[in-house]
Amino acid sequence: MIGLAPATASRHLWLLQQAGLVSLEKTGRCVCYRLANTPSPLISVPQQKR
């Protein structure tokens, strides 16, 4: 699929979730990840000068 072991992919997704970049939804044994709706406080976007 993406060339990573399932444990590696899971770890990467967990780290992204901890950083606030993705959210997760558990349904039974499945976990669905999606991009977070709110920006992460760890990422700053410079304001444009007026």
- On whether residue 40 sits in a domain, the answer given is no
pLDDT > 70 fraction of the chain, expressed in percent and rounded: 72
Predicted TM-score of the model (pTM) = 0.63
Q: What is the pLDDT of residue 8?
A: 92
- On whether residue 47 sits in a domain, the answer given is no
- On whether residue 43 sits in a domain, the answer given is no
Mean pLDDT computed over 14-28: 89
- On whether residue 27 sits in a domain, the answer given is yes
pLDDT band at 45 (very low <50, low <70, confident <90, very high): low
Residue 26 domain boundaries: 6-35
3-state secondary structure of 1: coil
Residues 36 and 24: their CA atoms lie apart, in Å, by 9
- On whether residue 50 sits in a domain, the answer given is no
- On whether residue 46 sits in a domain, the answer given is no
| CA end-to-end span of the chain | 46
Q: What is the pLDDT of residue 20?
A: 85
pLDDT > 90 fraction of the chain, expressed in percent and rounded: 12
3-state secondary structure of 22: strand
Task: Give me the residue label for tokens 């007026």.
Answer: 50
- Judge whether residue 41 has pLDDT over 70: no
Give the count of domains, the chain: 1
- On whether residue 42 sits in a domain, the answer given is no
- On whether residue 30 sits in a domain, the answer given is yes
